[in-house]
Each structure stands twice: as C-alpha cells, then as structure tokens.
Structure 1
Amino acid sequence: MEVTRRTLIGGAIGAGALALSACSGDDLTTDRGTITSRHWPGRKVNWRFAIQREGDYDSRPTVVVLHGKGGNADAAFDLGLQDHLNDNRLSLASIDGGNLYWHRRRGGDDPGAVVVDDLLPMLPRRNGNAGKIALLGWSMGGYGALLLASQLGPERVAAVVAESAALWTSPGSSAPGAFDDREDFEAHDVFAPKRLAVLSRIPVRLDCGRDDPFAAANRAFGRALPSAHLTIDAGAHTTGYWREHASAQLAWVRRQYGS
C-alpha cells in the first residue's frame, strides 16, 4: 500500500481545512481529513472518501453515508461499504455527525448543514463528478438520509437508502436527545406532508429487520410514502444486519442512475 500526504488544493472548506492523507491500494483510493465549519463551531469534523483507483470518474456518483448514533466518519468503512464500490461504479463519502440526528439543534450545531455546505462542495474535486448524490444511512443516519433528501430534493439527490431508520410517529415517542422539544420534532418530521411530497419524487429504499424496535415506524413510513421500496425481513438493529444488506443496497443505488 502506497501512502502519501498532501494539503487540500483549492481553498478552505467552511471556516478552514486541515491536513488530509490519501492511501492507494491495488484498486481503491481513500482520502481522509478534517474540516472546520461555521455550522459546528469549535469542532474538527472528520471526513473520509473512497473511489476506484482508475476509471471513468464521471460515471462514479457519490454515495454520502450518514452514520448512526455513536458513530463517526469511520463507521461506513467499518461496515465494509467500500468493498462494494467497484462492482457498482460508485464512490463513497462519509463525515462525522455526532449524536445530533443530522439537523440544527438549539445550541446552533448543525451537522446536516455541514454535509450540505461543507462536504458536498468537496466532492467534485475528489472524483470529478458534480452530478446528483445518493444518501445512505442506518438508524439515526437513516432518519438523517430521509431528512436531508427532503431538503435537497430530486434535483440534487438521485436515491436514498434508509435502513433501520430511527423514526417516530409522534414527539412523545422519540428517543431522549433526538430532538430538543416538540417544536424541533415537528420542524424536522419526515412524516410531514411537505417532506413526503419531496421524497415521493426520489427513489427511496427502506430496509428494516422484523426484530428491530423501529420496524413498526418503518412500516408506517412505508404506508405514508407508498412510492418507497420497503423491505421488512429477518434481522434486528445490528451491525450484522447493515453489513449483510450493503451489497444489495449499493447495487440498487447504481440502478437508480440508469446504468
């Protein structure tokens, strides 16, 4: 494995960019680094990127991965998502989101805005592809993928994979810390008609295990968004479930790009 170090070319992202490194294996190149952002003051936010080492990069759209609660930018790689990139001609980007459920919180921290305003502008320099992204997330990140897609719309999002998505049908049923209060829940409720109207124009895949505590809410979301491809199958809220579904999910994402 060849390892090189370089500095970010093209100016700072957000408030500034820190050092990054690139690692090239036989068929995959991965980059990682940190950024600072006005959307998350006082924090160095880690990001990671992976793409096939050689090939037509313009045909390799980026899957932006949002981790679950307790995770970070490494989580997508810990699940082995990078192992399925070459077969599906995709690239991958991930970033830290803390435990903030990918939306602006009362204190002003907003990891969702970090994705939109800081991470996404970096992607064309990483793979030369300025086209639509796909979003994939599990648990907290599954909710986040639906939320960000409902904000960005079909003009910027080609596909969404939400697995074991942390969904609640009412403010009182949500997990402690997921939202600041009832108003915060309602402002970021993916069951809201306006958000569903946007998501109905984007291919959405929902995967959830039968023994997952979010299975009932995922079924409810499937009913609320009948255009979504919903699968409730054997499994629970585990890394094993997410790892086992990665190959099929990324193949499905590739099909949404029409080739």
Structure 2
Amino acid sequence: MSRGGRPVARRTLLLGAAAAATASCDLSISTSGSATTHAHSHRMDGTLTSVHLAPEESAWSLLMPMGKGSRALVIGLHGKGSNGPEMMDMLALDEHVARTELAVATISGGDTYWHKRRSGVDAGAMVMQDFLPLMRSYAKIPESTSLGFLGFSMGGYGSLLLASAMKPATVLGVVAQSAALWTDPGDSAEGAFDDREDFVAHDVFRRAKALSRIPIRLDCGTDDPFIAANRAFARDIVPHAVTNFDAGGHTGDYWRSHAGADLDWLAAQLS
C-alpha cells in the first residue's frame, strides 16, 4: 500500500537499454531498478555510479505524472544526513506531480554540500553531467526545456549554487527550503567546506549578479537557525525573490508542508 492507503502496483523495470543510450564512458547505470504506479503518478527508482562520486553508488528516484507528459523537470537536492529517495518520501512529492505536471528527480549526493571538494568528490558535477541527462531521457523532457531546482537545508544551498552556474534563461526557478547559508566562513558547519578559500569560492552571496536574474523562492521557518542568513540573502543579494518566512523550524514537517506550494510556484513559472 502507498501513503494514505492508496493501492500501488509494483513491477521490475530493466534499465539497461535506456542507460546505454544515455550513459557516457564515465557513468555506469544499474541494470535493474523498480517502478511504482500510484493513482496519479509513476515512480522509478535506481542507482548510478559516477566518476565524480566513485566508488559510491547514488540512489535516485523519479516521479512523473500518470497519463500525460511532464512539462518540465525539477531536480531535488536533499539535506545533510538524508538521501534522494528519502527526500521524495519525506516531502510526499508524489502528491503534487499530477497537479503540477512536473517531473521530479532526486539523487543521493552524500554530505559534501553539492560542490567539488579537495578529495576530488564533486556531487554537483555528478548531478549536472550524469544525473540530469539520464532523467531527461527517462522523463522524455528535451534539453531545451528549462530546469527547476528544489532543495532543503544543504540541498537548498546546493540548488542555489548549481543554478548560479547556469545560463539564467535555462533555469525555470529555484526553491530553497531552509537553505544552509552562512554570512561568514567561520560560522559554517564542520565539513561543509574544506577551508576559508573553499567557502569563498562557493559562496552564493558572491553570486548575486547571476542569481538576481533567476526566479527564486525562499522558505524558512522563523525558529530555524538559518533564518537570519536567509533573510540577509533575500534582502541584500536577491531583493526580488519570493520569500515565505513563517512559523516553523528546521524539520521534515516544515519542508513537507511547503512542498505543494513550492511545486505550484515552479509550475507557475512555465506560464
């Protein structure tokens, strides 16, 4: 049974043929996965191994509306301590894809804050170079369609960071839920950056020019430890961003309660 008691049909899905058509020499895709059909959505789950995270496998999930094509793809980036499939379940994203006609894909990127690290790991490159083409292929969404981002905590920061490196016209919009932001490198969480230089190189506050040209929505609870930095980001860096600073903390319940409105907002950017 699915969430809420809805019936679920489950079958085995062979991914090898589709993977062979999309994989580069640096990417290997698992040869099997699963597909789950809900009343109004279709879910695929699998793993990939990327040179950017090797030898670790990354679990991913893709949700698509049933019975119709997807108007755009949204990449979901999880927070520290979470993973791609867990994000899909925690935010109950299957409840919103049919209404919004958006495909949503989540991927596990570890706790590396979605940028290149001294170790050579680069979860951001894995997303953009390996995962994104694969999900576009499965969801049948052409490269010419603009891309959306949805992330919470570490993933909210990562969504802003990855979008800042793209051409603004190619970004549908960014939703950052309780984004893990710091205004000073000395305040950042342990392990978020290799050192002060790494913080500066990947500081989204320093990417104001690019981000001010992209539709951005910021959600953050007023009891969240990141609220001050999110307010500063909205006020000083992206003054025209949509902001929703309301009651709540740094919790899954907060992110889940905002996911529907967030996907509605991303869908509205298509009109």
Paired residue for 1:239, among 235, 243, 252?
252
Deviation string for 1:195-216 (max 9, x for gaps)? 2111111100001111000000
Contact map agreement 1:153 1:202 (CA 8 A) in 2: no
Contact map agreement 2:45 2:61 (CA 8 A) in 1: yes
CA pair 26-144 structure 1, distance change in 2 beyond 3 A: same
Structure 2 CA distance for aligned equivalents of residues 226 and 5 of structure 1: 46
SS at match of 1:222: helix
Paired residue for 1:63, among 43, 51, 74?
74
Structure 2 CA distance for aligned equivalents of residues 26 and 242 of structure 1: 23
Structure 1 CA distance for aligned equivalents of residues 230 and 139 of structure 2: 34
Q: Who is 2:100 aligned against?
A: 88
Q: Who is 2:129 aligned against?
A: 117
For residue 24 of structure 1, report the CA deviation from its aligned partner: 2.1
Paired residue for 1:22, among 35, 54, 60?
35
Q: Who is 1:211 aligned against?
A: 223
Structure 1 CA distance for aligned equivalents of residues 63 and 202 of structure 2: 30
Q: Who is 1:7 aligned against?
A: 15
Structure 1 CA distance for aligned equivalents of residues 211 and 16 of structure 2: 34
CA pair 8-132 structure 1, distance change in 2 beyond 3 A: farther
Q: Who is 1:54 aligned against?
A: 67
Structure 1 CA distance for aligned equivalents of residues 90 and 150 of structure 2: 15
Determine what percentage of the aligned residue pairs are the same residue.
Answer: 47
For normalisation by structure 2, the TM-score amounts to: 0.90
SS at match of 1:155: helix
Q: Who is 2:139 aligned against?
A: 127
Structure 1 CA distance for aligned equivalents of residues 90 and 257 of structure 2: 13
- Relative to structure 2, which stretch is displaced further, 104-113 or 74-83? 74-83
Contact map agreement 1:60 1:127 (CA 8 A) in 2: no
| Pairs aligned (count) | 254
Deviation string for 1:74-124 (max 9, x for gaps)? 122222012111111111100001110000111000111110001111122
Code of the residue aligned with 2:221 in structure 1: it is: G
Structure 2 CA distance for aligned equivalents of residues 25 and 210 of structure 1: 35
User: Structure 2: which 5+ residue stretches go unaligned?
Assistant: 1-8
